[in-house]
Amino acid sequence: MKKFICVILCLTLIFASATAAFGATSYASYKITKTNKMVIMYVSYATAEFNDGMGGVMEAVPEKDTDVYTLYDVVIWSDRICLYKFKGNIQESAAKYISKHYDSSDKDFNYEKAWRAYRNSCCLKTVKVKSYEGQPSKNSSARLKAYKSFFNIIKKKSPSKHVAIKYSGHGGGKTFCCSLSEKDTKTLLKYGVKTFGQKFAFIDYGTNCQSGCTDILDYYADYTDYMLVNQLDFGGWQWDKWDSAAYDKVDTEAVYHKMFVKGEKTVDAVKRMGKQHTKNWPYGKKNMKKNKIAQSVTVVKMKSYKTLMTALKKKNISYRKDLKTAIKKYNSSSLLDKYNNAVIYYARNKKQLGTWKSSYGYGLWYTS
C-alpha cells in the first residue's frame, strides 16, 4: 500500500513538473471576474513619433482600469524601456496629480514638465537599454531581461488567470513586439507561461502588418489560447471627414477597456476586439476605395489551429497561398471544417472597397 501511494505521489509530481515546464495549462474557459480580471501588458514604441514630452503612446489606450480589466503600459524609448501602471483614466489622473503637486497660476509653471513628473510617478521599473525599432536583434538580451522582470512585477501586483499581451507598432515577423530576436522571443514566451502558470489568454497583434501568416502563428501556438492578427498591411487609409467624438467611440484602442465584460470568457473579448476593428472602416469608405486599400482582421483559436496544421502536414499543400483558397482547391471538407474551427472570426472591408484585388483575402496566409 505504501509503495502504491509512493508511486501515485511520484506520478503527480512528474505531471506537475511537466505542466510547469511546457506550459500546458489553459484557462480559456474561465470567466472574467473581479477576482480574475483581464490583465493586459500593452507594449508600444515611443522612439518614432513621440519624444520625451507629455502624452504620447501612454494615452493611446486612455482607460487603464475597470472592475474586470487592468492595463500595464510598457513603453520602449530610444534609450530605455519602462513599465508603467497608470490609474483609471490617464487624463483625469494626470490632472489630479498636477493640481495636487503644482500651482498652475505660477508664472514658471510648465505643464509638460508636470506631466512628465506624473508619468514618472507611475513608473514601476526602468531598464536602461538602447532600442532600434525594426532591428529587434540589437540589444535583445537586455530587453529580454527587462520583459522577464516586468512579468514578475505584473504577476505579483495583479495575480490572475487571464494575462494577455497587446502590441501596437510595426510588424516584426516572429519577434516579440518587434523588440526581441526570434531566439529570445521563444525564451520569453516560455518564461511567461511558467511565470503566470498558464498560457497567455491572447496575444493581440491586430495592428501588426502581415501578422496573420502561418509561420508566425506556428511560433506562438504553444503559448497563447488566442491570437488577433492581420493578414494584410494595417492602416494606410484616412477618415473621409475627421470626427473626434466618433473616433473616441469606435477606435479599438480608445474603447479597449470595453472589450472585457464581467462573466464572459476570453473568446468573447477577442471576438469583440476583432469586430471593433471593422467599426472604423465605414468612416474611410471613400479613401479606401479611391486608394484601393484592403483591410482585414482575423481571430485564431490556437488549439484548433494546431489541429489544422497537423492535418495539413499530411497533405501536399506547401506553397505560398491564401490558406482557405488552397484548402478549397484541395477539395477537402475535413480540412475546411478544421480551418473554420481555427479561424473563429474574420472580416474584410469588402463593403468599403468593393471587389478585392488581392488574392489573399480569407483570413490566414500560408507560408510554412
Kindly state the average pLDDT of the residues 210-217.
82
Model confidence at 113: pLDDT above 50:
yes
Convert the pLDDT of each residue in 169-178 to its tens digit: 777 778 888 8
Provide the mean pLDDT of the chain. Answer: 85
Kindly state the average pLDDT of the residues 7-15.
41
Model confidence at 66: pLDDT above 90:
yes
User: Under a CB-based contact definition with an 8 Å cutoff, are residues 219 and 185 in contact?
Assistant: yes
Band (pLDDT 50/70/90 cuts) for residue 131 is confident
Model confidence at 167: pLDDT above 80:
yes
Kindly state the average pLDDT of the residues 49-77.
86
- Identify the H or E element spanning 365: strand 365-366
Model confidence at 146: pLDDT above 70:
yes
Identity of residue 337? D
Cell numbers that stand for 199 in this block: 498560457
Q: What is the 3-state secondary structure (H, E, C) of 74-129?
A: EEECCCEEEEECCCCEHHHHHHHHHHHHCCCCCCCCCHHHHHHHHHHHCEEEEEEC
Q: What is the 3-state secondary structure (H, E, C) of 8-66?
A: HHHHHHHHHHHHHHHCCCCCCCCECCCCCCEEEEEEEECCCCCCCCCCHHHHCCCECEC
Its pTM surpasses 0.95: no
- Most confident residue range from 128-132, 233-237, 279-283: 279-283
Q: Rounded to whole angstroms, what are the CA distances from 15 to 9, 10, 29, 142? A: 10, 9, 21, 33
Smallest CA-to-CA distance from 122 within 65, 204, 192 is with 65
Separation between Cα atoms, residue 363 and residue 298, nearest integer Å: 6
Smallest CA-to-CA distance from 164 within 15, 276, 346, 30 is with 30
Q: Which of 19-23, 85-89, 136-140 has the lowest mean pLDDT?
A: 19-23
Band (pLDDT 50/70/90 cuts) for residue 12 is very low
Residue 231, pLDDT score: 80
| Chain position carrying cell 462573466 | 263
Kindly state the average pLDDT of the residues 100-110.
88
Smallest CA-to-CA distance from 171 within 218, 131, 221, 205 is with 205
Band (pLDDT 50/70/90 cuts) for residue 30 is confident
Model confidence at 162: pLDDT above 70:
yes
Separation between Cα atoms, residue 63 and residue 32, nearest integer Å: 18
Separation between Cα atoms, residue 274 and residue 259, nearest integer Å: 10
Q: Rounded to whole angstroms, what are the CA distances from 87 to 90, 114, 279? A: 7, 17, 27
